[in-house]
Amino acid sequence: MLTLKQSRRLQSVVVGTLSWAVALLIFFPIFWMILTSFKTEMDAIATPPQLFFAPTLENYLHINERSDYFSFAWNSVLISFSATVLSMLIAVPAAYSMAFHESRHTKRTLLWMLSTKMLPPVGVLMPIYLLCKSMGLLDSRIALIVIYTLINLPIVVWMVYTYFKDIPVDILEAARLDGATTFQEIGRVLLPIARGGLASTMLLSLILCWNEAFWSLNLTSSAAAPLTALVASYSSPEGLFWAKLSAVSTLACAPILIFGWISQKQLVRGLSFGAVK
Amino acid sequence: MNHTLKALVAALCLSSSAATLAAETLTIATVNNSDMIRMQKLSKTFEEQHPDIKLKWVVLEENVLRQRLTTDIATQGGQFDVLTIGMYEASLWGAKGWLEPMTNLPATYDLDDVFPSVREGLSAKGTLYALPFYAESSITYYRTDLFKDAGLEMPEHPTWEQIAGFAAKLNKPEQGQYGICLRGKAGWGENMALVTTVGNAFGARWFDEKWQPEFTGSEWKNALTFYVDTMNKYGPPGASSNGFNENLALFNSGKCGMWVDASVAGSFVTDKSQSKVADSVGFTYAPKQVTDKGASWLYSWALAIPTSSKAKDAAKTFSAWATSKEYGALVAEKDGVANVPPGTRASTYNQAYMSAAPFAKVTLESLKAADPTHPGVRPVPYVGIQLVTIPEFQGIGTQVGKLFAAALTGQMTVDQALTAAQASTVREMKRGGYPK
């Protein structure tokens, strides 16, 4: 019979081991991608797969020679950050009104907004393509910024709304009693309290924009093409390409992975320092 | 002094902006394969020769490229000045008036040097709409070392029955060695390219003269039964997921005794940096059965100019340069004669090339024999060997490909797959107003 202390220790070991197993399982494809990026094409297709091999940088040199990586990366940064900021600018007032001035249509409006995410993007490819064409926005960053803002807006509004809902109305009423205007109420009271949630929403929006490939592949050609377009250019129907594709995928993932890693600490701190959480 | 300096700077700015304005920029959409990437690399020479033309490249995977170009050209989006397209698109889009006719080419271009079958494949109603960059046929690759060990000899023109016999003897799954590798991945450009040539060899055809599908005929039944049985007995596991690249990887790592696929693989399987079996690969013609007509396919990647391009003259200058003899000579000089884009020009097949590329003779003869207007023993109302050049074929071909892949995995019997293929093709063709 285990004592309570032993039982807790066992539970902790089991949970810890399981967590590590799940984490390793999730990380394995990324690890394998990075590993493959340092292989030759022959090593990349070897069966059984090789864990130990002579590493090479030839794939990265090939990418450097063939493509202007920094131009694609700059487009990714500019488009993702702009779309995220724009969607937050729209989502915060929208979520504020829905969370603190709820009407009988609020829930249905939220569900309707989310339901737009269920529409397959290809269903609206032609109208959006023609709109962009007639407005001279094909292969422009503006088109992608606007589209990314719109496609992520339902999720962003929903997330910000749930964070706002956790904040007691009393805090805002206290601010109002002290003479705060609506903008002061949002800017000085609501946003600082919800900063952890807002930061995680922004990070999610950023990741969604960074990884979006359908619209970037269809609406851009060269000037506004982000990293997803660069990755797509290294897949090939004829010839071996796994090592090169892994290298370019590593380069495409690296900035957002690093950014996520750095902001992780801020996120946790933001969440734990919240007035309510 | 200060004013003089300002004036100088202003003059410099003006002159540089004038130069920028004078330069025309071409946006070129191309497919990611080694020949096209080489073209991108060597195009610096073109830019040096034509300082008034700047090139921008958009490289995409084949399926993405097709979808992207179709969207752009159907809406007259005008995002691209030069398109890399295949024979299927060239004739369809040319007939619709979406492509510029390739007329008034420079005298040095020597259009007569281009193989007639390739020229015809890229034309619609006698007008050429795209200039061929390279062309390919399908051929048989086999392991000379395994054949020698097993005491086998590959005939120059094998039949599918003979190929199955060899596969039975070379099949040693316990050693990770399979008799034959063939495409199984569903798609009009994947398994259907190969299976259609098997069908042609067995005397089958997609449609009769009145556009009635023929999948319920004995020819298709024989062809599909043979394909499914051979692959199930002597093919690698999971063959229904294997396309060109998967089979290339299997062959290069020594897992396949034979492989029937695109001639473009010749340079890959003989390249020691990517093939373990580079020294022991033999090449022969694609297998025939009741006929050799349509037994090997014909395909070409070509450069075309959309009518929506705003720089048509510059685009034609570039397209002509990239598909010229001069470009071939440049490739030979920079990267070796074996890397000259194959299959388009008679002049490519000189002594130096034939010696450097052991697969050149088989490829050349297969290309010469290919006749897209007569892809089988019986007359057909369509053009195309491994495909049918009608707009509906992408959808029909992929649907039939899925059914045949299901037969390969055992989800359906051959009869069920053929009956379903017949029903879906009849439905789509009726919708398209074809049966007469």
| CATH value at residue A64 | 1.10.3720.10
A180-200 pLDDT per residue, tens: 999 999 999 999 999 888 988
User: Is B75's CB within 8 Å of A42's CB?
Assistant: no
User: Is B79's CB within 8 Å of A232's CB?
Assistant: no
Length of chain B: 436
Chain A CB contacts of B31 below 8 Å: 236-237
Let me know: does B25 contact B314? Beta carbons within 8 Å. Answer: no
Closest CB to B245: pick one of A66, A218, A237: A237
Is residue B359 helix, strand or coil?
Answer: coil
Residue A170 forms part of a structural domain? yes
Q: How many CB atoms lie within 10 A of CB A111?
A: 11
Residue A106 forms part of a structural domain? yes
A15-67 pLDDT per residue, tens: 999 999 999 999 999 999 999 999 998 888 887 888 889 999 999 999 998 89
Question: Distance (Å) from the C-alpha of residue B436 to the closest C-alpha of chain A?
Answer: 33
Reported confidence tier of residue A242, pLDDT bands at 50, 70, 90: confident
* Confidence (pLDDT) at A262: 85
User: Is A222's CB within 8 Å of B60's CB?
Assistant: no
Question: Distance (Å) from the C-alpha of residue A96 to the closest C-alpha of chain B?
Answer: 40
User: Is B33's CB within 8 Å of A222's CB?
Assistant: no
A79-92 pLDDT per residue, tens: 999 999 999 999 99
* Confidence (pLDDT) at A277: 42
Residue A13 forms part of a structural domain? no
A130–chain B Cβ distance below 8 A for any pair: yes
Let me know: does A138 contact A219? Beta carbons within 8 Å. Answer: yes
Chain A CB contacts of B60 below 8 Å: 217, 232-233
Chain B CB contacts of A140 below 8 Å: none
**pLDDT, average across residues A68-75:** 95
User: Is A239's CB within 8 Å of B33's CB?
Assistant: yes
Domain carrying residue A76? 38-43+55-273
Chain B CB contacts of A236 below 8 Å: 31-33, 61-62, 245
Size of interface A-B (CB pairs under 8 A): 99
Closest CA to A130 of A149, A142, A119, A143: A143
Question: Distance (Å) from the C-alpha of residue B137 to the closest C-alpha of chain A?
Answer: 14
* Confidence (pLDDT) at A241: 84
User: Is B248's CB within 8 Å of A239's CB?
Assistant: yes
Q: What percent of chain A clears pLDDT 70, i.e. is strictly above it?
A: 94
Average pLDDT over all residues of chain B: 91
B298-330 pLDDT per residue, tens: 999 999 999 999 999 999 999 999 999 999 999
Reported confidence tier of residue A4, pLDDT bands at 50, 70, 90: confident
B308 strand-pairing partners: none
Closest CB to B62: pick one of A125, A222, A237: A237
Is residue B157 helix, strand or coil?
Answer: coil
Residue A30 forms part of a structural domain? no
Structure tokens at B302: 């070509």
Chain B CB contacts of A46 below 8 Å: 253
User: Is A42's CB within 8 Å of B252's CB?
Assistant: yes
* Confidence (pLDDT) at A55: 94
Pairing of strands B281-285, B256-262: unpaired
Let me know: does B91 contact B383? Beta carbons within 8 Å. Answer: yes
Rounded-to-integer distance, Cα A68 and Cα A222, Å = 11
Bigger pLDDT: B381 or A238? B381
Residue A158 forms part of a structural domain? yes
| Residue B434 CB contacts under 8 Å (≥ 6 apart), including other chains | B207, B211, B390, B392
Residue A18 forms part of a structural domain? no
- Residue of A214, A238, A249 to mutate, interface with B, max B Cβ within 10 Å: A238
User: Is B32's CB within 8 Å of A233's CB?
Assistant: yes
Rounded-to-integer distance, Cα A47 and Cα B236, Å = 14
| Residue B275 CB contacts under 8 Å (≥ 6 apart), including other chains | A42, B251, B252, B268, B269, B281
B1-32 pLDDT per residue, tens: 455 555 555 544 444 444 444 579 999 999 88
In order of their start, the domains of chain B are 2-136+299-356 (3.40.190.10), 137-297+379-431 (3.40.190.10)
Question: Distance (Å) from the C-alpha of residue B249 to the closest C-alpha of chain A?
Answer: 6
Residue of A nearest to B189 (CA): A237
Is the ipTM beyond the 0.85 threshold? no
Residue B215: what are its φ and ψ, rounded to 5°?
A: -70, -20
Residue A17 forms part of a structural domain? no
Distances (CA, A) of A18 to A13, A15, B380: 8, 5, 63
Rounded-to-integer distance, Cα B340 and Cα B349, Å = 10
Which DSSP letter does residue B240 get?
G
Closest CA to A42 of A242, A264, A254, A250: A242
Residue A1 forms part of a structural domain? no
* Confidence (pLDDT) at A236: 77
Q: Would you say residue B249 has pLDDT above 90?
A: no
**pLDDT, average across residues B30-57:** 92
| Residue A164 CB contacts under 8 Å (≥ 6 apart), including other chains | A95, A96, A98, A99, A100, A190, A194
Chain B CB contacts of A138 below 8 Å: 77-79
Closest CA to B170 of B143, B133, B138: B143
Chain B CB contacts of A222 below 8 Å: 27, 56-58
Count structural domains, chain A. Answer: 1
**pLDDT, average across residues B149-159:** 96
* Confidence (pLDDT) at B339: 86
User: Is B273's CB within 8 Å of A233's CB?
Assistant: no
Reported confidence tier of residue B62, pLDDT bands at 50, 70, 90: confident
B214-230 pLDDT per residue, tens: 999 999 999 999 999 99
| Residue B370 CB contacts under 8 Å (≥ 6 apart), including other chains | B117, B137, B296, B297, B298, B385
Let me know: does B251 contact B180? Beta carbons within 8 Å. Answer: no
User: Is A126's CB within 8 Å of B59's CB?
Assistant: no
Let me know: does B372 contact B385? Beta carbons within 8 Å. Answer: yes
Question: Distance (Å) from the C-alpha of residue A113 to the closest C-alpha of chain B?
Answer: 28
Rounded-to-integer distance, Cα B351 and Cα B164, Å = 34
**What one-character-per-residue DSSP string does chain A give?**
---HHHHHHHHHHHHHHHHHHHHHHHHHHHHHHHHHTTS-HHHHT-SSPPSS-----HHHHHHHHH--HHHHHHHHHHHHHHHHHHHHHHHHHHHHHHHHS--TTHHHHHHHHHHGGGS-GGGGHHHHHHHHHHTT-TT-HHHHHHHHHHHHHHHHHHHHHHHHHTS-HHHHHHHHHTT--HHHIIIIIIHHHTHHHHHHHHHHHHHHHHH--HHHHHH-SSTT--HHHHHHTT--SSS--HHHHHHHHHHHHHHHHHHHHHHHHHHHHHHHH-S--
C-alpha angle B172-B415-B296 in degrees, rounded to nearest 5: 60
Residue of A nearest to B60 (CA): A233
